[in-house]
Amino acid sequence: MVPFAPGGTTDLVARLVAAGLQERLGVTVVADNRPGAGATLGSEQVARSAPDGYTLVMSNIASHAIGPTLYGNRVRYDPVKDFAHAALVVTNPSVWVASPSSGIRTLADAAARARSPAGLDVATSGAGSSNHMMVVRMSQLVGKEMNHIPFRGAGPAMQAVIAGQVPMMSDSLPSAASHIRQGSVVAVGMASAARHPAFPDVPTFREQGFDLASDSWFGLSFPAGTPAGIVERLNRETRAFLANPDIRGRFAELGGTPGDLTAEGYTEFVQREVAVWAPLVQASGATAD
């Protein structure tokens, strides 16, 4: 289950992994897109599925660390207790890109536009995504609320930016990488601790005077109660797939870092992310409306 629309990082990662697991396991692996409510709709469907090893979700920072707090009682699953977390697949930074026609080339340009009477519209893959939180946090630093424009996935949001319908987008690097290289959008700032090796010419937020850094993450999770043997088998096969030099090169090209955690390690990782993001979301005052 891919809880975002086609064309974004979650979808891209899910399809790469599905193809690799299909080859390694010798069974058909289907990537099924079920977007909505910040990736919580598809995730809830998996949480309520039979724990037989045939259904899993591309769990991510939106569905498991941010959404449960942002959407409150509308999320009917516990991000830790209702899943058997199997494997961390990839982590990657966020990047802000602008339409070439917008005239925005730096974060200072974006801040100035945000402070203007017209304000600044910033697209994301949806409410509850880490990139939504980037818009909230950047607004706090700029001192003026930016207009968050949520889409049902990174693919539709990126197309709106390329067409000049929205001037900017906060996106995960893998789904933006090819568009940056093609020149269909302008990379304005990378939300990484240091310049990213795949895009050394793109300055970080901190280099431009904005103290922000944010990584997205994506993994594989079954419904709670899935037999431990199945969870461990998927962990082994996923880590073996991610260790392949060609796959590591593909992820590096996209700006992602492959994961290498045990199932227990990934569960602990999700627990830490929930503990970090829940208070940040609450303190931000952000809502899903």
Q: What is the pLDDT of residues 173-205, one digit of tens each?
A: 998 999 999 999 999 999 998 999 999 999 999
The whole-model pTM stands at 0.83
The answer to whether residue 279 scores a pLDDT higher than 90 is no
Question: What is the arithmetic mean of pLDDT over 152-165?
Answer: 94
User: How far apart (Å, rounded) are the C-alpha atoms in residues 2 and 35?
Assistant: 7
Residue 84 and residue 98 in one domain: no
Residue 110 and residue 202 in one domain: yes
Asked whether residue 4 is assigned to any structural domain, the reply reads: no
Question: What is the arithmetic mean of pLDDT over 70-95?
Answer: 95
Residue 86 and residue 98 in one domain: no
Asked whether residue 148 is assigned to any structural domain, the reply reads: yes
The neighbouring-strand residues paired with 257 are: 91
Write the Ramachandran bin of 174: left for phi over 0, alpha for psi from -120 to 50, otherwise beta. Answer: alpha
Question: What is the arithmetic mean of pLDDT over 83-103?
Answer: 96
- Confidence band for 289, pLDDT divided at 50, 70 and 90: low
Domain assignment of residue 158, given as a range: 93-208
Asked whether residue 269 is assigned to any structural domain, the reply reads: yes
Residue 185 and residue 278 in one domain: no
Q: Supply the pLDDT for residue 200.
A: 95
Asked whether residue 80 is assigned to any structural domain, the reply reads: yes
Angle at 43 between CA 8 and CA 31, to 5 degrees: 50
Angle at 228 between CA 226 and CA 232, to 5 degrees: 115
The DSSP code sequence of 62-124 is: IIIIIHHHHSGGG--S-TTTTEEEEEEEEEEEEEEEE-GGG---SHHHHHHHHHSTT--EEEE
Residue 54 and residue 44 in one domain: yes
Residue 132 and residue 54 in one domain: no
Asked whether residue 194 is assigned to any structural domain, the reply reads: yes
The answer to whether residue 288 scores a pLDDT higher than 90 is no
Between 68-72, 99-103, 167-171, 231-235, the lowest mean confidence (pLDDT) is in 68-72
Phi, psi of 197 (to 5 degrees): -60, -25
Q: How many CB atoms are located within 10 Å of the residue 271 CB? A: 15
Question: What is the arithmetic mean of pLDDT over 131-152?
Answer: 92
Residue 175 and residue 155 in one domain: yes
Asked whether residue 289 is assigned to any structural domain, the reply reads: no
| Mean pLDDT (the chain, rounded) | 94
Total number of domains constituting the chain: 2
Choose between 129 and 124: higher pLDDT: 124
Q: Supply the pLDDT for residue 126.
A: 84
Q: How many CB atoms are located within 10 Å of the residue 223 CB? A: 21
Domain boundary among 188, 208, 228: 208
Residue 17 and residue 74 in one domain: yes
Residue 87 and residue 222 in one domain: yes
Domain boundary among 181, 208, 235: 208
Asked whether residue 2 is assigned to any structural domain, the reply reads: no
Asked whether residue 152 is assigned to any structural domain, the reply reads: yes
Residue 79 and residue 97 in one domain: no
Residue 100 and residue 139 in one domain: yes
